[in-house]
Amino acid sequence: MEYRHSVQQIKKQILAKLEHNYGVGLENATNDQLYKSVALIAREMMEQGRSEFIAEAEKKGTKQVYYLCMEFLLGRSLKNTLFNLGVEESFREALQQMDVKLDALYECEPDAGLGNGGLGRLAACFMDALATGGYPATGYSLCYEYGIFRQKLVDGWQTELPDFWLPGGRIWLREIPEKAVEVHFRGHVEESWHESYHQAIHKDYTTILAVPCDMFIAGMDGSGVSRLRLWKSKGQEFDMGLFNSGNYMRAMEQNAMAESITKVLYPEDNHSEGKSLRLTQQYFLVSASIQDIIRTHLFKYSTLDNLPERVAIHLNDTHPVLAIPELMRIMLDECGYDWDRAWDLTTRTIAYTNHTVMKEALECWNEDLFRMQLPRIYQIIEEINRRFCQQMHDLGVDGYKVGRMAPLNDGYVKMANLAVVGSHCVNGVSGLHSEILKETVFHDFYTEMPDKFTNVTNGIAHRRWLNQSNPQLAALLTQKIGSGYIYDASQLKKFEAFKADKAVLQQLAKIKRSNKERLAEYIKRENNLVLDPDSIFDVQVKRMHEYKRQHLNALNILATYLWLKDNPNAEFTPHTYIFGAKAAPGYYFAKQMIRFIYDLGEVINNDPAVKDKMKVVYVEDYRVTLAELLIPAADISEQISLAGTEASGTSNMKFMINGAVTLGTLDGANVEIHDSVGDDNMLLFGMTTPEVENLRSAGYHPDQIYYNNPAVHRAIDFMRGGVNGVDFGDIVNSLTGNDPYMVLADFDSYQRAQAKAMQLYGDEKTWQQMCLVNIANSGRFAADRAIREYAENIWHCTPCEGKNSKLMH
């Protein structure tokens, strides 16, 4: 499709939208109405582009990719859409002629409340890369009314407020009620015996309607358009009979319960109601999505016999793994397949990505809860389990090992085990993570079915995180190496030729300072804190979690502050420490970590003895739009998880491509960053994964470090006395007790890395060379590359011919 519109055409379209949709002329239009009018035009362009893209893909017989994920952290859509369609400057000029600033319209859009962290942001980046690469794709998720939550810090304590994103975000959604599907819960199962399988019919169930709401994500140059189908839950028609008989509350309750399914992303599950709602959400997502996939496929082919050849279904983490038994249910109960044929088609169609080694994320559902909520699905999982265990026993596999691998065991449905059993391919998301999966988490499976396991290192949408977030750096790159890197990020390697170019290094420094000034303006406005753009901007932004070790960073800040108090004339490079993170609402320790950092900042920022040397900033309500401001301004990228705990990370890639130097452990994708840039262009510290395991096996005693390391001892004793009048005994007890993520074991090494960072930062030429080398070697972390690997090695699909010839396939 040709997206180029003249400036005059765009002005006419905007004026028409204002009049038709809002009944106003330009002179009376608000910025919000203008934003929505421009968004409608962009959405219509993508809808037409999607229609043409899919028509061409179907004509060529291109395989369809369906990507199921509980969250898609999209951020804002308008800027990304206009940039990718290649019409941003035309819209800017048209609006300028109307005396309207496009950047002001960007600010009218809320971040879409559909995601939380790295998992959801990866899914969003992949939608962009799938479209750019010419792969016809649909992402499936839920249309959360309130998203995760809006974070408000009250005296340092995280308070969760509802995230009202739909008033400004709904403009991107197209609701399609005529394509709604029914999802069934509870009820009972009537059984009958068939030769091939214990067949059952599900009766007297509760029915919830799943109504699709479509969003569209354009690839670069509009070469392809991905669809994100979000399901909104809706009750059945209002029961007038129930209401008229006096059961008013029950009549209202049915709809209210139905609509609660898509109210909030990740409801708290510290109680039985929360666990039940989470399970309901997960099945609602997969049942609606699988029904939609099958309906679309049957409409075109009238058979499911060719499903694996025409469709790839990908499960992003364990949340959508019930897609496996749901696909089996449809084939067995509604399409008449016998078990063996249905299982063959299911396992050849579905693939699974594992995103974590954290036990709490390898979901397990209580058998009784599961059987009550999903009786038919439970019965199918029982049969999957029986057949799998029998197969393993027939192969002579040890009984204890079979028990560990079983999808159903110890009174729990084990989702990760079900995912491995029911998919044809399992991948980790970094080289190290994939090895850890084979050696620990899925070791039993790996020894029996090694061919099932592979690796695809994560990637980012570099056009968003470089070209849109850091336009000055993008302009410099285009000037020096051409625009080819926009389509093929590996071409960034050409930039390394300028490592000794003094003018380029000076320009890099100038761009970084400009980005730091931009961030400092935001922090002055939001935090009432004045930052020094010449200080080191040391940034750690990600989910708040013990394994990500924000408390290691904070403990070092406290130790450094106390040292500066004792040595006021010591040589010290001014340092600004910036944090941003949300904690899960029920994760008390993580909330304590936030409060510790906040109160530490209160002490340091108000101490005149260090006011020109140190600042600590906690940015509230961290989200994609804020990341786009923060990341280009960072000098140091904190990636300090305990080795062997972070699957990959993607913020490390975003910082790298924006010229920040990684200060980190050899964990997740940090290992591959190190492979790319070497020791001289990264600040490594801490134990390696084998060293962590050796220390754990030998017996780790953090109390000995506390007594033997004066800096640790003093900092922890200071915490014991309270910080800013607040007691942090829980953190002290964790650090000096079992210290599960070995903060104290890595503390000394971390301090040395920080000292080295300050020394290097003082040599501007060396520092800018390090930044340049990082930018030049970041191309391997593009989502385009990751999607190409998924397509070639897992989904076995090729791009729609003729789509984006500038991309390397």
- Diameter of the chain measured on Cα atoms: 86
- Residue 306 identity (one-letter amino acid): N
Report the amino acid identity of residue 515. N
Catalytic status, residue 654: yes
138 is catalytic: no
Based on the residue annotation, tell me whether 5 is a catalytic residue of this protein. no
* Distance separating alpha carbons of residues 470 and 656, to the nearest angstrom: 12
Task: Catalytic residue, from 17, 462, 542, 780: name it.
Answer: 542
Known catalytic membership, residue 650: yes
Among candidate residues 154, 138, 76, the one with its CA nearest the CA of residue 108: 76
* Selection from 401, 405, 371, 411 nearest residue 388 by Cα: 405
Contact between residue 128 and residue 122 where contact means Cβ atoms under 8 Å apart: no
* Active-site entry in 5, 452, 595, 654: 654
Specify whether the CB–CB gap between 195 and 216 falls below 8 A.
no
Residues in Cβ contact with 319 at an 8 Å cutoff, skipping those fewer than 6 apart: 69, 70, 282, 285, 363
Cα 400 to chain centroid distance, Å, stands at 35
Catalytic residue among 76, 121, 355, 613: 355
Structure tokens at 191: 């059984």
Tokens of 271: 């109680």
Q: Does residue 785 contact residue 693 with C-beta atoms inside 8 Å?
A: no
Active site residue 30: no
Give the integer Cα–Cα distance in Å for 606 and 734. Answer: 28
- Give the strand pairing for 174-175 and 157-161: unpaired
| CB atoms closer than 10 angstroms to residue 377 | 24
Residue 516, CA atoms < 13 Å, CB-side half-sphere: 25
Q: For 134-269, where are the alpha helices, taking DSSP H only?
A: 166-169, 240-244, 248-259
Spatial separation of the C-alpha atoms in residues 710 and 703, rounded to whole Å: 12
Candidates 548, 595, 615, 785; catalytic one: 548
Q: How many CB atoms lie within 10 A of CB 512?
A: 25
Is 318 a residue of the active site?
Answer: no
Cα distance between residue 63 and residue 798, in whole Å: 7
CA 319/CA 333 separation, integer angstroms: 24
Whether 111 and 146 have beta carbons less than 8 Å apart is answered as no
Catalytic choice (11, 76, 543, 615) = 543
Tokens of 620: 């509230």
User: Which residues are registered as beta bridge partners of 365?
Assistant: 413
Which of the following is catalytic: 356, 457, 650, 689? 650
Question: 159 Cβ partners below 8 Å, 6+ apart?
Answer: 151, 152, 153
Concatenating the DSSP letter of every residue in 422-486 gives H-S-EEESSHHHHHHIIIIITHHHHHH-GGGEEE----B-HIIIIIIT-HHHHHHHHHHH-SGGG
Catalytic positions are 355, 542-543, 548, 650, 654
